[in-house]
């Protein structure tokens, strides 16, 4: 596989990730508006989101339990994961080319990303 | 106001921002945040969180189109990501410790720069060449297609580029924008990478940079699901339509209108920030 082919393949993967994320977010949004559409908004003053919407395990658990807002957050997690997946796949691509320097550089970038996510 | 009436309004604003952002090449994030705070009075921190997430959507969504053209350079992008992701972590950390009034002023300054940048034409291809041993060791070179020929290039001033990229990452993490304009300046003007390679590589980097700070924003509770939903879907839809229209569109007049709109928003953001304290 050439560089270009690998790139095209990764780009397709990215687009599928964004599409999947958008569909999950849309589903969660419709569900939320159907249930709580009449609720008053509170965006003029900031209060931090409750813990059930700020960590990956809590979001997944909430989405499984049918919490519409958690479903939206799950979609956003999928979205955040797409560039991370891109970096992870690039490691494999560089390894196939036996470019160990770039395997290392890409692995450091991945470590920084995972540090912020976890 | 309730969610049912506000959500469509947010969606339309976000779609417009994404559309204009794609047409002018500045990205939707830089417009959607001031629009949400100035027009709807949404707290800046909510707007920044929502905008940051939509930046990832547009960057990843557009990647397929850019890759096919064969301009973007994976090695240069990945190497510079070392600096932008670290910068993004730093920026997101700063954001949680900076008062909103100060954030508003900084945002206004970045908007002023964006307004100025959007009225400039693409700079001529750089011809100046300094041999850079670091660039050679890191394989920061490539070739791009132009009029049927492969044009070769090598990056220079690698350390300056890295430093500027750290700054671009910090601004991205601090304000929840892609800071594509700053990334292009670092690559095109400092590192002397051809403009087309710079812009397409920057687009790929934007998503990775934003993902680095998105984790911190999520943990800190800045990403509100009910607000981010219409923002992300709107910006994504607007930018996809914008990218289609862009092919062959006459954008000169549009750029000027955009510059004026962004300039007005910049002044308002700075005024709001100063007036609050």
* A111 neighbourhood in chain B, CB within 8 Å: none
Residue B237, pLDDT score: 92
Please judge whether B60 and A82 are an interchain contact, meaning their C-beta atoms are less than 8 angstroms apart: yes
Query: pLDDT band for position B71 (50/70/90)?
Result: confident
Lowest mean per-residue pLDDT among A94-98, B94-98, B128-132, B166-170: B128-132
Please judge whether B64 and A15 are an interchain contact, meaning their C-beta atoms are less than 8 angstroms apart: yes
Longest dimension (CA), chain A: 58
Tell me the β-bridge partners of B142: B153
- DSSP class of B33: H
The Cα of B204 is separated from the nearest Cα of chain A by a number of Å equal to 9
Please judge whether A80 and B214 are an interchain contact, meaning their C-beta atoms are less than 8 angstroms apart: yes
Residue B82, pLDDT score: 96
Q: Nearest residue of B to residue A40 by CA position?
A: B2
The Cα of A102 is separated from the nearest Cα of chain B by a number of Å equal to 7
pTM: 0.90
Please judge whether B219 and A54 are an interchain contact, meaning their C-beta atoms are less than 8 angstroms apart: yes
Contacts of B57 (CB under 8 A, 6+ apart): A18, A21, A22, A79, B232, B235, B236
* A54 neighbourhood in chain B, CB within 8 Å: 218-221, 223
* B61 neighbourhood in chain A, CB within 8 Å: 14-15, 18
- Mean pLDDT (whole number) for B73-93: 94
Q: Nearest residue of A to residue B63 by CA position?
A: A11
Query: pLDDT band for position B202 (50/70/90)?
Result: confident
* A81 neighbourhood in chain B, CB within 8 Å: 211
Query: Which has more confidence, B145 or A58?
Result: A58
CB-nearest partner of B56 from A33, A70, A83: A83
CB-nearest partner of B212 from A54, A101, A116: A116
The three state secondary structure string of A77-95 is HHHHHHHHHHHHHHHHHHH
Please judge whether A22 and B236 are an interchain contact, meaning their C-beta atoms are less than 8 angstroms apart: yes
Residue B261, pLDDT score: 84
Query: Which has more confidence, B60 or B70?
Result: B60
The Cα of B184 is separated from the nearest Cα of chain A by a number of Å equal to 19
- Mean pLDDT (whole number) for B171-195: 88
Angle formed at CA B241 by CA B56 and CA B109, multiple of 5 degrees: 55
List the domain boundaries for chain B.
3-276
**Average pLDDT of chain B, as a whole number:** 86
CB-nearest partner of A41 from B6, B56, B214: B6
The Cα of A8 is separated from the nearest Cα of chain B by a number of Å equal to 6
The span from the CA of B212 to the CA of B172, in Å, is 10
DSSP assignment of B210-249, as one string? HHHHHHHHHHTT---HHHHHHHHHHHHHHHHHHHHHHTT-
* A112 neighbourhood in chain B, CB within 8 Å: 82, 85-86, 89, 212
Residue B270, pLDDT score: 93
DSSP assignment of B38-84, as one string? HHH---HHHHHHHHHHHHHHHHHHHHHHHHHHT---HHHHHHHHHHH
Residue B122, pLDDT score: 57
ipTM of predicted assembly, 2 dp:
0.92
- Mean pLDDT (whole number) for B63-84: 83
Residue B59, pLDDT score: 84
- Tens digit of pLDDT at every position of chain A (118 positions): 666 777 778 778 888 999 999 999 999 999 999 998 888 888 888 888 888 899 999 999 999 999 999 999 999 999 999 999 989 988 998 998 899 999 999 999 999 999 988 7
Report the length, in residues, of chain A: 118
CB-nearest partner of A109 from B3, B57, B78: B78
Distance of CA A76 to the CA centre of its chain: 5
- DSSP class of B265: H
Burial class, A19, CB count within 10 angstroms (exposed 0-12 / middle 13-18 / buried 19+): middle
Please judge whether A80 and B53 are an interchain contact, meaning their C-beta atoms are less than 8 angstroms apart: yes
Angle formed at CA B99 by CA B97 and CA B102, multiple of 5 degrees: 120
Is pLDDT at B68 greater than 70 in this prediction? Answer: no
The span from the CA of B224 to the CA of B212, in Å, is 18
Q: Tens digits of per-residue pLDDT, B211-261?
A: 999 999 999 999 999 999 999 999 999 988 887 776 655 667 777 877 888
């Amino acid at each position: 596989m050439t560089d270009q082919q690998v790139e095209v393949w990764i780009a397709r993967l990215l687009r599928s990730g964004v599409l999947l994320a958008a569909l999950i977010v849309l589903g969660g949004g419709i569900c939320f508006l159907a249930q709580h559409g009449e609720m008053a908004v509170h965006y003029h003053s900031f209060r931090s989101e409750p813990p059930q919407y700020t960590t990956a395990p809590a979001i997944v658990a909430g989405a499984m339990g049918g919490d519409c807002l958690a479903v939206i957050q799950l979609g956003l997690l999928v979205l955040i994961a797409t560039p991370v997946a891109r970096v992870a796949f690039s490691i494999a691509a560089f390894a196939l080319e036996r470019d160990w320097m770039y395997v290392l550089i890409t692995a450091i970038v991945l470590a920084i990303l995972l540090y912020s996510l976890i | 106001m309730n969610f049912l009436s506000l959500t469509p309004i947010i969606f339309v604003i976000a779609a417009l921002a994404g559309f204009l952002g794609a047409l002018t090449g500045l990205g939707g994030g830089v417009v959607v945040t001031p629009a949400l705070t100035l027009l709807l009075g949404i707290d800046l921190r909510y707007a920044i969180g929502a905008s940051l997430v939509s930046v990832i959507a547009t960057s990843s969504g557009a990647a397929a189109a850019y890759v096919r053209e064969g301009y973007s350079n994976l090695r240069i992008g990945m190497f510079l990501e070392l600096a932008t992701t670290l910068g993004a972590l730093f920026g997101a950390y700063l954001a949680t410790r900076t008062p909103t009034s100060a954030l508003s002023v900084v945002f206004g300054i970045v908007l002023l720069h964006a307004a100025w940048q959007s009225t400039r034409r693409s700079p001529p291809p750089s011809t100046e060449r300094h041999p850079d041993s670091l660039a050679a060791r890191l394989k920061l070179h490539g070739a791009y297609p132009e009029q049927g020929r492969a044009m070769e290039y090598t990056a220079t001033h690698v350390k300056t580029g890295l430093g500027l990229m750290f700054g671009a990452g910090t601004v991205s993490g601090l304000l929840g924008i892609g800071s594509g304009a700053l990334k292009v300046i670092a690559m095109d003007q400092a590192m002397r990478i051809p403009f087309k390679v710079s812009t397409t590589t920057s687009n790929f980097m934007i998503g990775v940079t934003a993902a680095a700070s998105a984790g911190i924003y999520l943990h800190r509770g800045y990403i509100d699901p009910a607000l981010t939903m219409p923002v992300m879907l709107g910006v994504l839809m607007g930018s996809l339509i914008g990218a289609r229209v862009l092919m062959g569109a006459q954008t000169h007049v549009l750029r000027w209108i955009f510059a004026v709109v962004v300039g007005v928003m910049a002044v308002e953001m700075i005024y709001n920030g100063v007036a609050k304290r």
